[in-house]
Amino acid sequence: MLRNITLSNGKTVEVECLSCALTSRMIEPEGGAIIETAFFHAHQDVAYPIKGLVILASRRHIKGMDELTEEERLDYIQLLANIRKAQREVLGIESVYYFYNEDTTHHFHTWMVPRYPWMESFGRSIESVRPVLLHARNERNNEKNRMEVMQAIKTLRRELNA
Ligand SMILES: [Zn+2]
């Protein structure tokens, strides 16, 4: 199924799978990739201005965790842990929520959503994740937060590619 994606520069592109478009570098995520390996690609979706939020997507168009090859599995856990470490060490992020659903319209990708004090009012259960993301997108989409997000992308990239 083809989907229309509107880029941050206002251009619209038609893609089969957003994750494929990103990981193949057909489209560049705002702020750029945070880290790339032969099997994975990490970026931030700046539509949700949450400092240190990372989306880790596989390069291959697969849906299920069980479709990962041995090499991909090792790379995945290594990357998740390294990104988590960087979030803690250079951004001071104490807790992260991980979210990944297999029945996505894109392909295999894991959200790493840092927790901040303002999120407490949405609770700590799985049901809090969507309201938190929507609140960030609708209520916290200001210049200050966007600048922080862009800075955090750079900081993480520097740390992870050092
Ligand atoms: Zn794909």
Could you report the per-residue pLDDT of 29-56, keeping only the tens digit for each?
999 999 999 999 999 998 999 999 999 9
CB 41 within 8 A of CB 59: yes
Distance CA 103, CA 137 (A): 23
- 67 Cα: distance to centroid of ligand 1 (angstroms): 13
Q: What is the pLDDT of residues 88-118, one digit of tens each?
A: 999 999 999 999 999 988 899 999 999 999 9
- 6 Cα: distance to centroid of ligand 1 (angstroms): 17
- CA of residue 12 relative to chain centroid, distance: 21
Distance CA 3, CA 38 (A): 26
Residues 6 or more apart in contact with residue 129 via CB below 8 angstroms: 97, 99, 113
Per DSSP, helices labelled H in the chain are 18-23, 70-91, 129-139, 143-160
- 70 Cα: distance to centroid of ligand 1 (angstroms): 20
CB 29 within 8 A of CB 74: no
- 110 Cα: distance to centroid of ligand 1 (angstroms): 14
